[in-house]
Amino acid sequence: MKIQNEFSQNAKAYNNFNVIQTKVAEELICTITDKPASVLDIGCGRGGMYRSISWPLKKFVGIDFAEGMIELHPREENVELFVKDFNDPTCFLNLDTYAFDRIVSASALQWSDDLDRTFQHIATLNTPVTFAIFTSGTFKTLHETASIPPLLRSTEEVMALCKKYFNAEYKVLKYTLEFDSVRDMFRYMKKSGVGGARNLLSYKQMKRLMNDYPFNYLEYEILMIHEDAKGS
């Protein structure tokens, strides 16, 4: 199953399963103090970032590869939405015709097939960025228990790639989310969009892990990346 199909199928239920993503979006918004009037949101989903913005916007452009998510995004006169995949280089064509004050992305860029290339395309827009990217400490204990490699890039790898293109400051956020049962925990993983459709375990292996996993919590690790506004 393709990732974008899973996100589309889960779109209506997504808001009930994105507690961590909501906290990350709020943290990201608090980082932005220059109140940009024109914003590009990469991986906009159903509008978590747009809903979190408290200042007036002249223009908001959102792109996401899941049409089911885009359909649930708020629609306003100043909002433009496009079904685009940032893994496709053509995604960034014509975006340079806009004059953005800031580019944001929360809980999306960890799924870039080639993060170096994605950063390179974003950098051509010559606009300050603020990103929140999940990193390899996410589900760390779960992966270690299942003896599988981390799903995501490490904070060090993401920072090294970012430094090639952006003059940014960095902060690592860590959260722990507890559940009533291990079954509830795995259900949350499937629906939240952070676990994604990366089926690294067989059905039998997953069932055994659900029965044997000794903890009722998930760990999350997020790298915050922020550039100051130009001229500040």
Helix (H, G, I), strand (E, B) or coil at 209: helix
Structure tokens at 157: 């790898």
List pLDDT tens digits, range 148-168: 888 899 999 999 999 999 999
Q: Kindly report the average pLDDT of the chain as a whole number.
A: 86
Domains and their CATH numbers in the chain: 3-137+150-177+219-226 (3.40.50.150)
Cα–Cα distances (Å) from 62 to 11, 29, 81, 160, in that order, read: 16, 16, 5, 26
Amino acid at 124: T
User: What is the pTM for the complete model shown?
Assistant: 0.87
- Name the residue among 186, 190, 111, 175 with its Cα closest to residue 146: 186
Round to whole Å and give the CA distance between 201 and 93. 37
Q: What is the percentage of the chain residues whose pLDDT exceeds 90? A: 62
Round to whole Å and give the CA distance between 92 and 105. 14
List pLDDT tens digits, range 40-86: 999 999 999 999 999 999 999 999 999 999 999 999 999 999 999 99
| DSSP-assigned states of every residue in 131-162 | EEEE-TTTTHHHHHHHT---SS--HHHHHHHH
Neighbours of 112 (CB within 10 A): 20
Q: What angle do CA 212, 216, 222 make, to 5 degrees?
A: 115
